[in-house]
Amino acid sequence: MADKLHATAPIGAEAISANGLRLALAPLAEAASLGAFAGSGRAELLACVRAEFGVDLPQTPKAVTTADGLVTFLWCGPSQWLALAPAEASGPSGASSGGQGLMARLRASCGAVCALSAQGDSRTALRLSGPGTRAVLSRLVPVDLHPRAFRAGDVALTLAGHIPVIVRHLDDQPEACELLVFRSFAASLFHDLHVAMTGHTS
């Protein structure tokens, strides 16, 4: 049999640094959507995730990350969550685990009580960081990004210009946000963020 297929990054562009800001891909090793089934499924799903991952699924637009830093759960609708395993996440040992096996863990722990769909290639994560991150995002995203309203761990499902995005506030020191976008839109969003950072149209 022939060699394995090689992966291609969703966009060809390199990371960009401008005006103290940095825009880069934050590759996902794996991601999965969780949709709780009806009846007791929702409560059971919460319990299953708590037992396997040690976190409570958020009930409002927020993100929680497991203690080992390997998996983040994002609220993205009533009874719906995204589980993300970033490629660069590292466990307590410092070794990069790459989150491999996320889907297997989810299937084993909560496959009976929720719909699971692989989403690791559906979404692309872009990370914008540096002082002025909020100001740059305000040129694309029509939600309140003020520190009083949008804190680390907060999530917004919204539009960046015309592109649907999930914005996650990572940290204030330094300012950093992650934007999850459908893979097919990644190049356009990268361009639009670049313009918002620099004022250049190309």
**Does position 127 bind other proteins by CB under 8 A?**
no
- CA distance between the termini of the chain: 44
Candidates 50-58, 62-70, 94-102, 109-117 — which segment interacts with other proteins by CB under 8 A?
109-117
Number of neighbours of residue 166 by Cβ within 10 angstroms: 21
CB of 93 to other proteins, least distance (A): 27
What is the chain's Cα-based Rg? 17
Q: How many angstroms separate the CA atoms of 77 and 15, rounded?
A: 31
Q: By CB under 8 A, tell whether 141 contacts other proteins.
A: yes
Distance of CA 156 to the CA centre of its chain: 11
Q: How far is the CB of 76 from other proteins (least distance, A)?
A: 10
**Shortest gap between Cβ of 116 and other proteins (angstroms)?**
8
Among 139, 152, 157, 174, which residue sits at the site for other proteins (rule: CB under 8 A)?
A: 139
Tell which one of 44, 138, 152, 157 touches other proteins (CB under 8 A).
138
Toward other proteins, which CB reaches closer, 2 or 95? 2
Q: Cβ distance 180 to 81 under 8 Å?
A: no
Tokens read off for 57: 């699924």
What token pair was written down for 22?
A: 């940095």
Instruction: State the Cα–Cα distance between residues 162 and 57, nearest whole angstrom.
Output: 29
| 2 touches other proteins by CB under 8 A | yes
Q: Does 12 bind other proteins (CB under 8 A)?
A: yes
Q: Tell me how far the alpha carbon of residue 158 is from its chain's centroid.
A: 14
Site for other proteins in 22-81 (CB under 8 A): 33, 35-39, 41, 79-80
Strands 114-118 and 80-86, by their bridges, are unpaired
Binding site for other proteins (CB under 8 A): 1-10, 12, 19, 33, 35-39, 41, 79-80, 114-123, 138-139, 141-144, 146, 148-149, 161-163, 182-185, 187-189, 191-192, 195-196, 198-201
